């Protein structure tokens, strides 16, 4: 049984996560504020925490930093964290906050499921969607 804690105040985000990950082997619990994440981690250590970037007055970045700092101090268990980002420039902050992976919204079920699987297996997942296109230099033509 896999226990996933989702921190999001938007019903659509939680519905998308449940649709992508739901099943008999997965329990998806929800908190609607950033401040509720740490107590929920203490109450029942989840296998994965999914943080929406925008969660009321304590957003996903602040929650991610808080979880990492508290785990580093031995006050919370160290849990894998997957962040749901709004835009590509948020990637830098997610990396700095110590997230194990990130997915850009809008959420695509297969991409989200792959990210969750990768992070649960101990890996990191960086969503390739929205990345700048790879450019190949074109050799100069001689006349």
CATH: 3.30.420.40, 3.40.50.2300, 3.40.50.300, 1.10.645.10. Which one for 2-126?
3.40.50.2300
**pLDDT for residue 131:** 73
Q: Residue 37's beta-bridge partner residues? A: none
Q: Residue 49's beta-bridge partner residues? A: 5, 81
Rg (alpha carbons) of the chain, rounded to whole number:
17
Whether the CB-CB separation of 121 and 97 falls below 8 Å is answered with no
Contacts of range 56-59, beta carbons closer than 8 Å, 24 or more positions apart = 56/9, 56/32, 57/33, 58/33, 58/34, 59/34
Q: Which of 1, 24, 28 is nearest to 14 (CA)?
A: 28
Q: Which of 60, 4, 70, 3 is nearest to 34 (CA)?
A: 60
Confidence of residue 104 (pLDDT cuts 50, 70, 90): very high
Q: Domain map of the chain by residue range?
A: 2-126
In the DSSP assignment, the letter for residue 33 is S
pLDDT in tens, 49-69: 999 999 988 999 999 999 999
Whether the CB-CB separation of 30 and 9 falls below 8 Å is answered with no
Mean pLDDT over 81-92 rounds to: 95
């Amino acid at each position: 049984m896999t226990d996933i804690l989702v921190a999001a105040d938007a019903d659509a985000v939680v519905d998308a996560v449940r649709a992508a990950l739901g099943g008999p082997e997965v329990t998806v619990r929800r908190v609607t504020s950033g401040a509720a994440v740490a107590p929920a981690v203490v109450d029942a250590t989840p296998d994965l925490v999914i943080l929406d970037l925008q969660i009321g007055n304590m957003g996903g970045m602040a929650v991610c930093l808080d979880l990492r700092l508290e785990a580093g101090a031995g006050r919370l268990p160290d849990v894998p964290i997957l962040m749901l980002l709004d835009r590509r420039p948020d990637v830098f902050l997610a990396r700095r906050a110590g997230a194990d992976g990130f997915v850009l919204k809008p959420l695509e079920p297969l991409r989200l499921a792959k990210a969750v699987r990768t992070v649960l297996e101990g890996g990191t997942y960086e969503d390739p969607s929205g990345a700048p296109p790879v450019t190949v230099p074109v050799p100069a033509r001689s006349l």
